Homo-oligomer: A and B are copies of this chain.
Amino acid sequence: MEKISSENLKALESRYNIALINSLSGFKPIVLIGTRNNDGLENLAIFNSLTHIGANPPLLAIVSRPNSVDRHTIENIRDTGIFSINHVSEHFYKKAHQTSARYDRSQSEFEFCQIDKEYKDNDSVPFVKGSLLQIEMKLEQIIPIELNDTLLCLGSVQNIYVKKEFLGTDGFIDLEKMNLVCGSGLDSYYSPKLIARLPYAKP
């Protein structure tokens, strides 16, 4: 095995270092976060940091970098207290990737990336039309991570939108049947194929 030490890391060229460290967290979920600010300006941004925090109460989190394009998302979430999670399928992953470009505040990624939007009961948050798993989230808490000036944005699940054909009788949602993608690094997209569902493990 090749050993890359923290001393080696410090000496690496910046882009190489970013690609390497971004590979270390393995395969990641790919979602689009939809938001709107109090002036009605919409934003849509790709995130690969969605994390399950707990089932009861139902909590999910994303990590935001205040100095990146993510910042419009977190500003809007602070404004309205609400955001949408829209899972990305193979049929629109290229458009989803395009939302990572640095658009101005006044430019809606829905328009510039040609992604259709829809509103549901709550008119403060746009969803991605055609996303097969959409979740309306309520902001619960933003925890600053001072080590690198990022933010952990915690939300609670309000409404889940999913077609019946993807929802199992045991509550399991069939992400593969939806053709959801996962990612690695900053630029790679994958189609996961089921190996197996395993029974609950006992000693």
Contact = CB atoms under 8 A, between A and B. Distances in A.
A57 B148 contact: yes
Given A141-B147, A192-B27, A52 B22 contact: yes
Interface string A37-73: 0000000000011111111111110010100000000
Contacts of A9: 58, 157, 160
A57 to B, nearest CB: 6
Contacts of A24: 52, 58, 60, 85, 133, 135, 157, 160, 173
Given A30-B26, A195-B90, A159 B53 contact: no
A99 B6 CA distance: 29
A141 to B, nearest CB: 6
A8 B136 CA distance: 14
A107 B202 CA distance: 13
B195 A191 contact: yes
